[in-house]
Structure 1
Amino acid sequence: MEKITTVLFDLDGTLLPMDQDLFVKSYFKRLAEKMAPRGYDPEGLIKAVWGGTAAMVQNDGRATNEEVFWDFFSNVYGEKALKDIPVFQEFYEVEFQEARQVCGHNPLAARSVALCRELGLRRVLATNPLFPSIATESRMRWAGVSPEDFEYYTTYENSVHCKPNPDYYRDILAHCGLRPQECLMVGNDVSEDMITETLGMKVFLLTDCLINKEGRDLSGYPRGGFEDLISYLEKLR
């Protein structure tokens, strides 16, 4: 077996424990409250954000996810939307931070990342790049890790694909000069994270906040909680 040199970590539901539905509800509620005084009807706004998210997920690499999102969003709201980008930015700096209240925290998440550093392993944060960097960096800190813990992390500014598209992972491999056989992907979503196996990566399914929408058989995956992950990483010594 090829030696693992690099660990890719998912963020939401992996390093940062969360109930995704609860998080999205909290996030959208605050966004709607922030933008209502600027003339955005809450229902229409949330529908447009979901539409922009779907456009990013379907991105075929023609533009960054950021460009794809704002292209969709400004088609709904016109030029006004682009003028309001600084207000959305301010939302992520201020109100978005309150969504931390609905997320969990597990000190073993930071321990797992630190262990990888101790073992001399490269670390990449492979979080679905649907958010601006400010929101991604905030969620890292909520999880007890920092941007400096990773040589690369994906955001909507620097990415042109999304999970579960294998090209999202191919982009990371190309950016970091990696071969899939030397990588381990750690994630909680069977369809979005374990797809890396099809590229030749090793995988570890973190089951604390498991997402298995398609009800797949999990018996073939190394899996478990953070204690199990740490034991698995220790064997890479």
Structure 2
Amino acid sequence: MIKAVLFDLDDTLIDINLGAFMARYLAGQARILSRVLRVAPPFAYLAVVEGYLRIDSFSRTDDLTSERLFFQTVCRRVGRPLDLDVLAEPLAYYDAEYIDRFRGGIVQAGPRAGSHEAIEAARSLGLEVALATNPVFSLAVDRTRMRWGEIDPAVFAGVSHWANSRRSKPCARYYQEFVSSLGLVPQECLMVGNDAGRDFPRPAIGMPTAYVGHGRPGRGVFRGSLLELAHRLPELVVSLNEREGRGAGGQASPSRPTDSYHDRTRR
């Protein structure tokens, strides 16, 4: 039975040019690390890029939080001892205060149509809502982006970020550990996201995904806009619960039940 709705953030609940934001964020982060660790800016930037590649790697075998792995990688790459206390204050200011000025210009971050309606639709059904954003930033960066989208952090039962995650999307372990932190299992959660490559757990773990992007992934239990999802969510939840009930009763569940559901809602 569906008990929670997990929402992606970037280009799902908020509008943002994520590539432009990442470019600005990494460049600024590298400048700070260059000054604090006393290394040339190009070396600091390469170390930062390597850090993000490591935490986003699907072949990770470590058991570190992504935050720990990132800084461990950066410091080793530039030949400096790992000292998070030295790095904490400047990076905390950068994440919580400085990056707010990135909102305009090429980043173009702001509220997304249907985001509040989708969140409230889930809550009106008595479902928990949680923010399952790709955990490659600090909680402060997540909160800044929520603010750009006029999203109240208090509505979420949990928020994933690099200090509480050991994998990133689409790794199944990320999703399993996040839903476990909510006291749930994947089959009890509906994921809502716009990225066909990241918002579907890999390998599949029985967690349905409502797709609100521009593609047409065959695996989605819903395809449409966020506002359409808000209107159709009660019926979708009933459909998913009925499918789970049929499966639990020993009857074969249809392989693509919500393609037919989606087609029906779009007629």
TM over 0.5: yes
Q: Which residue is 1:179 aligned to?
A: 185
Q: Which residue is 1:226 aligned to?
A: 226
Native 8 Å contact 1:110 1:143 kept in 2: no
How far the C-alpha of 1:26 sits from its partner, in A, is 2.8
| Paired-residue identity, % | 28
Q: Which has the higher contact order (CA 8 A, sep 6+)?
A: 1
Verify: 1:44 aligned to 2:43, yes or no: yes
Instruction: Determine helix, strand or coil for the equivalent of 2:126.
Output: coil
* Cα distance in structure 2, aligned partners of 1:90 and 1:228: 38
Verify: 1:128 aligned to 2:149, yes or no: no
Partner deviation per Cα, 1:92-136 (whole Å, 9 max, x = no partner): 122211122221322521221122112211111111111111111
Name the TM-score, length of structure 1 as normaliser: 0.85
Give the gaps of 5 or more residues in structure 1. Answer: none
Aligned residue type for 1:51: E
The residue correspondences of 1:104-119 to structure 2 (distance < 5 A) are 104-119=110-125
* Cα distance in structure 1, aligned partners of 2:40 and 2:232: 48
Instruction: Determine helix, strand or coil for the equivalent of 1:84.
Output: helix
After alignment, is 79-88 or 140-149 more displaced?
Answer: 79-88
How far the C-alpha of 1:30 sits from its partner, in A, is 3.8
Q: Relative to structure 1, is the Cα distance of residues 20 and 118 closer, same or farther in structure 2, using a 3 angstrom cutoff?
A: same
Q: Which residue is 1:205 aligned to?
A: 211
The residue correspondences of 1:1-237 to structure 2 (distance < 5 A) are 3-32=1-30, 39=38, 41-58=40-57, 59-60=60-61, 62-77=63-78, 78-79=80-81, 82=84, 83-101=86-104, 102=107, 103-195=109-201, 198-207=204-213, 210=214, 218-221=217-220, 222-235=222-235, 236=237
Q: How many residue pairs end up in the alignment?
A: 228
Name the TM-score, length of structure 2 as normaliser: 0.76
Give the gaps of 5 or more residues in structure 2. Answer: 239-267
How far the C-alpha of 1:42 sits from its partner, in A, is 3.8
Aligned residue type for 2:81: E
Instruction: Determine helix, strand or coil for the equivalent of 1:229.
Output: helix
